[in-house]
Amino acid sequence: MTRSHWLLSQCGYPEPMGAGLNLPEGPRAPRAWQSLGWQKRPIPYLERCRSKYGKAFTLRLLGIDPFVMMSRPEDVKAIFTAPPEVLHPGEGAAILLPVVGPNSILLLDEERHMTQRKLMLPAFHGEKMEALRGLVTEVASSEVESWTTGSPVPLHPYMQGLTMEVILRAVFGLEQGERLERLRYLLGRMLRFGMSPIALIPQAYRLGRLHPDLADFNEVRAETDAEIQALVDERRAGGEDRDDVLSMLLQAHHEDGSPMSDEELRDELMTLLVAGHETTATELSWAFERLVRNPDALSRLVADVDAGGEEYVTATIRETLRRRPVLTIAGPRRVMSEIEIGGRTYGPGCHVVANIYLVHHDPEIYPDPYSFRPERFLENEPGTYTWIPFGGGRRRCLGASFATLEMDIVLRAVLSRMEVRAGNDGILEAHRRRSITVVPGDGAQAVLTARAERPAPTPA
């Protein structure tokens, strides 16, 4: 065992497996070097690996079984449709455990996952999401009106503030007041920890007293849990009929008639925060980063927004999610028993991974894949196994419809009020790793200018 593996094992990691397995070829560099490439320059690293090894290759990273990256649609289909007892996605999401908790739908497998998914699914039905449209529109309009105009600013912090407000209002059901301010502060601190490098070690939070960031996180998590518990207790006692997601989860019942436990509610609320705040904020930032560098697409989008149209707005959202997916991979699936994918048999000791970025940038699937062309989604609907920003199969993101609804509303709120242009002379912004997400390297720099005259808003 190397010193790096020993250190990881002290935080609860097992020694990585994979030796002796018949895995696809991949980089032969030491695990530490591969991990550095994967963390520091994920997109160029993936591109180089595909160029050298093809559409299925193996990465060996520190502290975890090998990742077999796959980007052929037929391989993606095999991963997404595999029986739940054969592949375990929950184990691949372990780095989120300190924030989301052990009952999170992201971390559960097999029957426990399906049971929890059934409980949560009604809250994300299309009609339920549409009922929140007015609230999201109100939040977006208020936030955009407060933004700085006339000088270059990074849009990512603005989008983070906006999506946090949406989560607090639409998911937690909070109105303006002391509790909303308190939770905004506490949740912001928790998420900042979740984006730090040390958070990539799932079990490291147990060593809190040995590291100041971890000690601070444990303290903040306890305060946050207390605030959420107080909110849940008030809602249980009040019995109000509300449209927010928390109220819907309080009405959910297991098959035996029992309600979700306090622990389940806490963990799923934190899951919705993690999955629905940073990811949507980042995707909106990428949308503007792409649009200001593609003026024809931006002009056509503004015209569609002014006319109250839907088609080009939807196409722009889909193309943003294709061209700049905030997650480079769908949740890694740990192989629990033998499965054949692409003519090769995989057994325990590795993960099979649908690589979102490489699927979306395959010229055999998307001609001219590095161009930002919303028109491609006017011509064709997204494919089930070729457009996978939300994953797929029984693990497809529950909040996908809410995320696209929010993106639609925010694009309209910004473009109906502001003219937007590049804030750094149009220089391309590199990808930068932020925990499991990939964000614009300069925060999506842009100059916002209030529109002198804007048309009366037209309902979508």
Kindly report the three-state secondary structure assignment for every residue of 52-73.
Answer: HHCCEEEECCCCCCCEEEECCH
- 80-89, 239-248, 299-308, 330-339: least confident range: 239-248
Distant-in-sequence, close-in-space partners of 251: CB < 8 Å, separation ≥ 6? none
Report the CATH number at residue 40. 1.10.630.10
Instruction: Give the tens place of pLDDT for each residue, 398-435.
Output: 889 999 999 999 999 999 999 999 987 767 888 888 87
Instruction: Give the model's pLDDT for residue 129.
Output: 81
Element holding 302 (H helix, E strand): helix 295-306
Query: Do 431 and 43 meet the contact criterion of CB atoms below 8 Å apart?
Result: yes
In a domain? residue 32: yes
Residue 175 is predicted with a pLDDT of 83
pLDDT at 27 over 90: yes
The answer, yes or no, to whether residue 456 has pLDDT greater than 90, is no
pLDDT score of 211: 57
Mean pLDDT, rounded, of the chain: 87
Residue 34, pLDDT above cutoff 90 = yes
Residue 460 lies in a domain: no
User: Is 457 inside a domain boundary?
Assistant: no
Give 206-240 pLDDT, tens digit per residue: 555 555 567 778 888 889 999 999 999 988 887 67
Please check whether residue 303 lies inside any domain of the structure: yes
In a domain, 218, yes or no: yes
- Sort residue 412 into left (φ over 0), alpha (ψ -120 to 50) or beta: alpha
Rounded Cα distance between 460 and 453, Å, is 20
Q: What is the pLDDT of residue 404?
A: 95
> Which residues contact residue 5 at a Cβ distance below 8 angstroms, ignoring those fewer than 6 apart?
13, 15, 16, 62, 63
Average pLDDT over residues 31-47: 93
Position 19 pLDDT exceeds 60 = no
For residue 455, being part of any structural domain is answered with: no
Q: Is residue 107 part of a domain?
A: yes
Alpha-carbon distance of 450 to 417, in angstroms, equals 6
Domain count, the chain: 1
pLDDT of 436: 81
Q: What is the pLDDT of residue 130?
A: 81
Q: What CA–CA distance (Å, rounded) separates 13 from 267? A: 23
How far is the CA of 238 from the CAs of 122, 146, 234, 453, in angstroms? Answer: 21, 34, 6, 46
Task: Give the confidence band of 312 by pLDDT, cuts at 50, 70, 90.
Answer: very high
Query: Does 458 reside within a domain?
Result: no
How deeply is 128 buried, as exposed, middle or buried, from its count of CB atoms within 10 A (0-12, 13-18, 19+)?
middle
Residue 356: pLDDT band (50, 70, 90) is very high
For residue 437, the cross-strand partners are: 434
Residue 376's domain comprises 3-450
d(C-alpha 271, C-alpha 255), whole Å: 22
